[in-house]
Amino acid sequence: MRAVLCTRLGSPESLEVADLPDPVPGTGEVVVDVAAVGLNFFDTLMLKDLYQLKPPVPFSPGAEFAGHVSALGDETDGFAIGDRVCGYVSYGAAREKLVVAAARLARVPDDFDLVRAAALPVTYGTALYALRDRGALKAGETLAVLGASGGVGLAAVEIGAIFGARTIACASSPDKVAFAKAHGAAAGLDYSKEDLKAGLKAFAEGRGIDVVYDPVGGELAEQALRALGPLGRFLVIGFASGQIPKIPLNLLLLKNCDARGVDFGAKARGTPTWLRDAIAELMAYGRDGRISAHVDATFPLSECAAALNEIAGRRVKGKVVLTTGR
């Protein structure tokens, strides 16, 4: 099988495509013939050894995938050869065949495209975990989504709409704001030109924002936190800006609000049943047209570096997915 390998840490250009032996499943494992691999911003960080999870070299990028079951280990009841599945691994999915624990798989209905299925687990799983489990978002509350046109941002806009929130999509250009608004946001804000704190307060009509969803970090974080209302929740998703902000803790005291970390990977790894149920729920939303699982572009496996550079350059709306031709 072919696999994309990081054999030395650095930029995406350091990736290689190598031929490896076909994998064999162990107890509780299956082999998936991978059709599609979802890529994420943290893949670019992992290549530079800047992510909290540090796999040993060599490793393959890619944490979410979809394909067909091609081999079964012992104790994998419930799956059969040929089943259409998708799932989550911390890394290692950018290859033609993947060994994965059966507990981390969810079924993909026959009428759901495998490329879109590969775009669901991480970004929409993060939004679901953040807004429902960590943020306790309620119908009628105000939600501010930073980086709203990217993968995790767009997912939060759409999941927020499902939960009945009134959402303002915040992004770095007019076309990105317009894209997010077209996917369910009530309003938009271009923080490359507008004051984020003032814009969020105006959207909340003086009451303050109920929930901020922040995958960007940097200087925007404190501005958004200052726009929170009493009992508001600031959800820390990631730091796409490249800067980890230092938040004055007195703001939490004065506003009687919370800052809450959101680590989807830890939740998914620690609670496989939660992951399976979450993916099944998201798949149902996708089939009903309530979420788009929007794929901006697909690249063949051999062009993984180019795909990751699109993400690093912030040129992606929604997701970028690798395809294997299988």
What are 64-74's pLDDT values in tens digits?
Answer: 999 999 999 99
Q: What is the mean pLDDT of residues 84-92?
A: 96
Q: Which two tokens stand for residue 26?
A: 């162990």
Q: Across the chain, what does the average pLDDT equal? A: 96
Residue 77 has pLDDT above 90, yes or no: no
At the topology level of CATH, where does 2-119+294-323 sit? Quinone Oxidoreductase; Chain A, domain 1 (3.90.180)
Q: Which two tokens stand for residue 151?
A: 């993968």
Residue 326 has pLDDT above 90, yes or no: no
Instruction: Report the distance separating Cα 146 and Cα 216, nearest Å.
Output: 7
- 225, 233 Cβ separation under 8 angstroms: no
Q: Is the dihedral of CA 197, 203, 206, 207 positive or negative?
A: negative
For strands 295-300 and 319-323, give the pairing: parallel
Residue 115 has pLDDT above 90, yes or no: yes
Q: What is the pLDDT of residue 206?
A: 84
Residue range 295-311, pLDDT digits in tens: 999 999 999 999 999 99
Do domains 2-119+294-323 and 124-264 share one topology? The answer is no
Q: Which two tokens stand for residue 118?
A: 């590969």
Q: Which of 131, 152, 150, 134 is nearest to 142 (CA)?
A: 131
Q: Which two tokens stand for residue 271?
A: 């609670």
Instruction: Report the distance separating Cα 155 and Cα 123, nearest Å.
Output: 6
* pTM, full prediction: 0.95
Q: What is the mean pLDDT of residues 239-257?
A: 93
Return the DSSP state at 198. H
Q: What is the mean pLDDT of residues 222-250?
A: 95
Residue 59 has pLDDT above 90, yes or no: yes
Q: Please state which CATH class domain 124-264 belongs to.
A: alpha beta
Q: Is the dihedral of CA 137, 140, 145, 150 positive or negative?
A: positive
Q: What is the mean pLDDT of residues 43-57?
A: 93
Strands (E), the chain: 2-6, 15-19, 29-39, 64-72, 84-88, 97-101, 105-107, 142-146, 166-171, 187-190, 209-214, 228-236, 258-261, 295-300, 319-323
Q: What residue spans define the domains of the chain?
A: 2-119+294-323, 124-264
Identify the three-state secondary structure at position 258. Answer: strand
Residue range 176-209, pLDDT digits in tens: 999 999 999 999 999 999 999 999 999 999 899 9
Q: Which of 127, 36, 46 is nearest to 87 (CA)?
A: 36
Instruction: Report the distance separating Cα 155 and Cα 140, nearest Å.
Output: 18
CB count within 10 Å of CB 247 equals 14
Q: What is the pLDDT of residue 78?
A: 87
Q: What is the mean pLDDT of residues 2-23?
A: 95
Q: How far is CA 262 from CA 66, 126, 206, 215, 239, in A?
A: 24, 8, 27, 10, 12
Identify the band that residue 124 occupies on the pLDDT scale cut at 50, 70 and 90: very high
Q: What is the mean pLDDT of residues 243-253?
A: 94
Instruction: Report the distance separating Cα 161 and Cα 165, nearest Å.
Output: 6
Q: What is the mean pLDDT of residues 7-29?
A: 95
Q: 266: Cβ–Cβ under 8 A, 6 or more apart, which residues?
A: none
